[in-house]
Chain A
Amino acid sequence: MSTPSRRGVLEASIFVTASGFALALGLPGARFLLTPLLREEERSWVDLGEVEALRSAGAPVAVSFRYEAWRGYVRGTKPGILWVVPGDASDETGVRVLSAVCSHKACNVAWSPEEELFACPCHRGRFDRGGAPVSGPPKDPLARVAVRVEDGHLWAELAESMA
């Protein structure tokens, strides 16, 4: 092993101090930057109205509502919308509640009465009454929302990405 030169030692020390500089700022900076990945998706239960009326509707109904939620530092009542599909035997409530957010690129889908399908206006995705993709780009079904009935009202468990 040769004796390191004065210049070499100085350069090595600069490398060490510069790395310290970068790490001292970089580590907290990276954590700061990556916060959204650490945050859990907010969920809240929302009241969609009387379940009897929703059950007896013929076509899927868009139910608009306001609910209170936190988004980071922002707290407030937020507008939301869900599709309530009547006549669903698979659920004990008799209805199926679907997110209006298209599973493809997150535009809002609307019920198209002439096609009897949910239609997305952005890239022509189509979903059946159950929310399963029928045609167009979407591969995944519309998100199905957990529901319960309480005092005759239909409640849905809404996640941030659903409304």
Chain B
Amino acid sequence: MSGGPGLAHHIRRALAYPLPRGVGYAQIFGGLLLASFAIQVVTGALLALYYSPSATDAWESVRYIEEEVASGSLIRGVHHFGSSSFVVLLVLHVLRTFIWGAYKGTRKATWVVGCVLFGCVLAFGFTGYLLPWDLKAFFGTRVGVGIAGSAPVVGRPLASLLAGGPAVGELTLPRFYALHAVILPLVTAGLIALHVVLLRVHGVTPHWKHGYLASGRTFHPHQTAKDAAAGLLLVLVLLGLAHWVGAPLEDKADPQNTSYVPRPEWYFLGAQQLLRIFQGDFEILGSFVLPAIGAAIFFLLPWLDRNPERNPRRRPVAMSAGAAALVGVAGLTLWGNAELKAEEVAMAGRVEAREAQSAAAEPAAEPEEEEEAPDEAELVRRGEILYRDLACGACHGETHLVEDTPSLAFEGDVVHRDWLREYLAKPTPIRFGPGGRPPATRMPDFLLAEDELDALVAYLVGRTEGERFAAPELDPATAEAELEQGRVLFDELDCLGCHVLGDEGEDFGPRLDGVARRLKAGYMYRLVIDPEGVIPGTPMTDYYLEDEEARAILRYLLTLR
């Protein structure tokens, strides 16, 4: 090698500062937290490659990560358990700092920066919670945003800013993602750098017994070797948890669910219990005042505890207050967990009672079911599960109508049941690519069984059947004349310039063979009158047809069976 010492030499030198005596395994938590942050950054960046922060796709994309992506459940598992271990290590790090009195004297700033970092970690946990968009995510975030909303004065606007509107919904997800994956990592990385610089400036806090007596050892390699060994152990534990336990993914978020008992992350159970304890007018004590006082004491500890002594034996007030706080938080957490379990049991009873009641009073309890066959509701329910299991929403998401994957949002008003059942049983392309070839993306044949076809049709059509597109009343007296006019218009407007019928036409738009068996009259009628209004972004030309012209074309289309 030429040209003097390399980068590795400079890094080694920078880290080889002398350690005081009595520094060892008790001091590994800082290094482990750094390792935890690295683990979360790496696994988080990997997850972001597949994750889609939109209410329609988020859950499906997480499921895709879990089930399809190679090592997907492992990476997501490490990220999931990594957040919990982050909190555990953080608490141990704070305890160590507290017992060593390492927040005193010149190290006040290090403590305060550490407190802000603690807040960042909790904010990471809270924002990351929503991202899978499952039941737990949805209701947990509603509660979290509600808590922010209970802050005096700024509460309501703060809740609106967090949720992106008056309630947690579609617009909440992108902003939580931005916070979780962009803003918080940047802020946290900066604060970690500051924390480490402050540590380097003031040095590792020596043991109270030995003071600054030199140990003859240096941070690198003596402490770094311990940190590295502990870091490896941490990764192995996280991999083990990810492999054998796995990160949970519940059913997709559903605001209709009234039998779900939301369970917060374990480190928020104590905070949840505070919300249960304080009732009515005292509610704000649990949701805001007590947590705010706790946080203030935590931040201001170096100024509240003016005792210069660092030996725990000679700090009876601080040590007993710290122990009381620890016992208090642990007790609240355990209490909260017990109450949550009781609530889960109570809810199971309520669901049972409700089911018994609706079984006893079938027609009255479910007014929507009256006109339909008794098992229609059950079919719809099973259809919805199929829709979810087959991930139909991955292509037919409900938010937009795409050219080659139609939205199913108003499928009941668009297609005939019989046609849909046949189509689902054996999908044949309706749209063709250039040169009459099948399109690049096409509906797969899911090889559905008879009862599955019934369920899916019930869900797709029965659920959305309405009067969105009213069919015009066609007068039989004028049938012949209208049909002839329709035929002429069909030619004049050059419909076959884009559509295929038999052997004629261009394959730009969907085939019109048997279109009357496929599409409902009202839908076709609205579509020719106002294509853009029915399918936003459609390439179909708007001819600004008069009502009678549209009727005439409809007459003609209805003959294409």
Q: Which residues of A contact B (CB under 8 A)?
A: 33-34, 36-37, 39, 41, 49-50, 53-54, 56-59, 61-64, 66, 68, 71-72, 74-81, 100-101, 104-114, 119, 121-124, 133, 135-139, 159-161, 163
Contact B256 A121 (CB under 8 A): no
Compute how far the CA of A100 lies from the CA of B142 in the bound complex, rounded to whole angstroms: 13
For B257, what are the chain A residues with a Cβ–Cβ distance below 8 Å?
108
A-binding segment of B7-15, B215-223, B322-330, B347-355: B347-355
Please judge, given known A-B contacts A50-B370, A113-B350, A119-B346, whether A161 and B260 are in contact too, CB under 8 Å: no
Instruction: Using A77-B398, A77-B409 as known contacts, list a sample of 19 further A-B pairs with CB atoms less than 8 Å apart, ordered by residue number in A.
Output: A37-B160, A41-B166, A53-B363, A53-B367, A59-B357, A66-B463, A74-B170, A76-B398, A77-B464, A106-B145, A107-B139, A108-B258, A110-B259, A110-B347, A122-B261, A136-B279, A138-B280, A139-B281, A161-B166
Contact B139 A33 (CB under 8 A): no
Contact B161 A37 (CB under 8 A): yes
A-binding segment of B119-127, B240-248, B270-278, B470-478: B270-278
User: Which residue of A has the minimal Cβ distance to B141?
Assistant: A106
For B166, what are the chain A residues with a Cβ–Cβ distance below 8 Å?
39, 41, 159-161
Asked if B450 is at the interface of the complex by the 8 Å CB criterion, the answer is no
Name the one of B142, B164, B261, B363 contacting A121, with C-beta atoms under 8 angstroms.
B261
The A interface, classified by DSSP as helix, strand, loop or mixed, is: mixed
Name the one of A72, A78, A106, A121 contacting B146, with C-beta atoms under 8 angstroms.
A106
Q: Which residues of B contact A (CB under 8 A)?
A: 54-56, 139, 142-143, 145-147, 157, 160-161, 163-171, 254-262, 272, 275-276, 278-281, 283, 286-287, 339, 343-344, 346-347, 349-351, 353-354, 357, 361, 363-368, 370, 398-400, 409-410, 463-464
Contact B160 A64 (CB under 8 A): no
Contact B169 A71 (CB under 8 A): yes
User: Which residue of A has the minimal Cβ distance to B276?
Assistant: A123
Compute how far the CA of A114 lies from the CA of B348 in the bound complex, rounded to whole angstroms: 13
Name the one of B346, B364, B398 contacting A57, with C-beta atoms under 8 angstroms.
B364
CB distance from B345 to the nearest CB of A (A): 11
For B157, what are the chain A residues with a Cβ–Cβ distance below 8 Å?
37
Contact A72 B256 (CB under 8 A): no
Compute how far the CA of A75 lies from the CA of B170 in the bound complex, rounded to whole angstroms: 10
For A110, what are the chain B residues with a Cβ–Cβ distance below 8 Å?
258-259, 347, 350-351, 354
For B275, what are the chain A residues with a Cβ–Cβ distance below 8 Å?
104-105, 122-123, 137
Contact B167 A72 (CB under 8 A): no
Contact B409 A76 (CB under 8 A): yes
Contact A76 B399 (CB under 8 A): yes
Contact B409 A121 (CB under 8 A): no
For B410, what are the chain A residues with a Cβ–Cβ distance below 8 Å?
77
- 7 A-B pairs with least C-beta separation: A53-B367, A105-B146, A106-B142, A161-B167, A76-B398, A74-B170, A121-B261
CB distance from A26 to the nearest CB of B (A): 16
Please judge, given known A-B contacts A79-B255, A106-B145, A110-B347, whether A56 and B364 are in contact too, CB under 8 Å: yes
A-B contact pairs, 9 of them (CB 8 A): A58-B364, A74-B54, A75-B400, A76-B399, A105-B275, A121-B343, A121-B347, A123-B272, A137-B278
